[in-house]
Amino acid sequence: MNDLSIRKDRHAGRITFTRPQALNALSHDMALAILEALTRWRDDPEVRLVIIDAEGARAFCAGGDIAAVYQAGRVGDHALGERFFADEYRMNAMLADYPKPVVAFMQGFVMGGGVGVGGHAAHRVVGDSTQMAMPETGIGLVPDVGGSWLLGRAPGRIGEYLGLTGARMGAGDAIHAGFADFYIPEAEWPALIDRLASCGEVAGLKGHPRPHPPLADRDLSAFGGRTLADIMAALEASGDLEALAALRRNSPLSMAATLAMVRAARADQRMQDSLSREYRYTARATAMTDFLEGVRAQIIDKDRNPQWRAEAGPEQVRAVLAPLGAKELIWEEQR
């Protein structure tokens, strides 16, 4: 596959994103290839750890390559999106539960599907160029790929803030919010990767002091509001015009569902519970939400002027997050 380099390197299984011209966007085939490699290496005694990195300075992985899902949804084919998200989420879950150490090196843009790959590694390295975000509400989707699980575990109201606004995090904020573990300057990464592959051990992996996290200084109490309307009113009252502007740009249904999902995820016992809830939304995305309009405005036509039409009341949120019956995402026990 031209978009990924998957190989064994001494004691390491290596997965490298190799489509920097597309900001290493994750396609369905790429998700399946990562899942297949992880499955193969799980019982391979030569592979002691897995290293995931990416070519190009601009992005580790800027998100999922959803153009095919959009095109299929436009002509009424909703099954393609169902298959893409289901396979991607199975790959995310395997990364989170992998029995061998997984080390991810995440430079540049790390968004959406990129968080689903790097954000669930056991050892997550970020650098000075890292810009991490879950910006799905801007395209009529919700923070998925296990994003609601991570957001639900962020301190304070950071999860609601990041999920609703899609705000970006640098290295310090990513570590503070629980999306990363180590800050290491990117110039040191090649030698570190070589050492990890050579020794097959992560015991010596340690980071530099993290940059100060601006999120730690920010008053996010407004995001404790019971409803999206309550949050927007509190932001208006406090004069947080930046956050308020983001909420006015994004899909109301996506934000209302995200608020419910992040809060529900706090009670989940494992990431698969959060993924199953996310799938209830994304499996319906092309048929019942603002997703097609959001992708049109932000990715296809690039007019940045989505016309949101989906209702966003409690009844609509319950409908998009209701169990899927026979299509519910079922988890096989992974060793």
Q: What is the pLDDT along the chain (335 residues), one digit of tens a residue?
A: 789 999 999 999 999 999 999 999 999 999 999 999 999 999 999 999 999 999 999 999 999 999 999 999 999 999 999 999 999 999 999 999 999 999 999 999 999 999 999 999 999 999 999 999 999 999 999 999 999 999 999 999 999 999 999 999 999 999 999 999 999 999 999 999 999 999 999 998 999 999 999 999 999 999 999 999 999 999 999 999 999 999 999 999 999 999 999 999 999 999 999 999 999 999 999 999 999 999 999 999 999 999 999 999 999 999 999 999 999 998 875 44
Are the C-beta atoms of residues 162 and 147 closer than 8 Å to each other?
A: no
The answer to whether position 131 is within a domain reads: yes
Partnered with residue 111 across adjacent β-strands are 133
User: pLDDT at position 1, please?
Assistant: 75
User: pLDDT at position 141, please?
Assistant: 98
Residue 242 to residues 231, 236, 246, 249, 273: CA-CA distances in angstroms?
Answer: 13, 10, 7, 11, 32
The answer to whether position 332 is within a domain reads: no
State the Cα–Cα distance between residues 162 and 246, nearest whole angstrom.
11
Token couple for 311: 């209702």
The answer to whether position 259 is within a domain reads: yes
User: pLDDT at position 317, please?
Assistant: 98
Task: State the DSSP H helix or E strand holding residue 77, giving kind and residue range, or none if neither.
Answer: none
User: pLDDT at position 335, please?
Assistant: 42
The answer to whether position 161 is within a domain reads: yes
The answer to whether position 335 is within a domain reads: no
State the Cα–Cα distance between residues 166 and 185, nearest whole angstrom.
25
Amino acid at 239: G
Q: Which residues contact 117 (CB under 8 A, 6 or more apart)?
A: 26, 34, 52, 61, 91, 92, 95, 104
| CATH number assigned to the domain comprising residue 60 | 3.90.226.10
Domain membership of residue 131 as a residue range? 4-327
- In the block, residue with structure tokens 């051990």: 201
The answer to whether position 285 is within a domain reads: yes
233: how many CB neighbours lie within 10 A of its CB? Answer: 14
The answer to whether position 334 is within a domain reads: no
pTM over cut 0.85: yes
226: how many CB neighbours lie within 10 A of its CB? Answer: 9
DSSP string of 108-137? BEEETHHHHHHTTSSEEEE-TT-EEE--GG
The answer to whether position 333 is within a domain reads: no
* Number of domains comprising the chain: 1
- The DSSP symbol for 219 reads -
195: how many CB neighbours lie within 10 A of its CB? Answer: 12
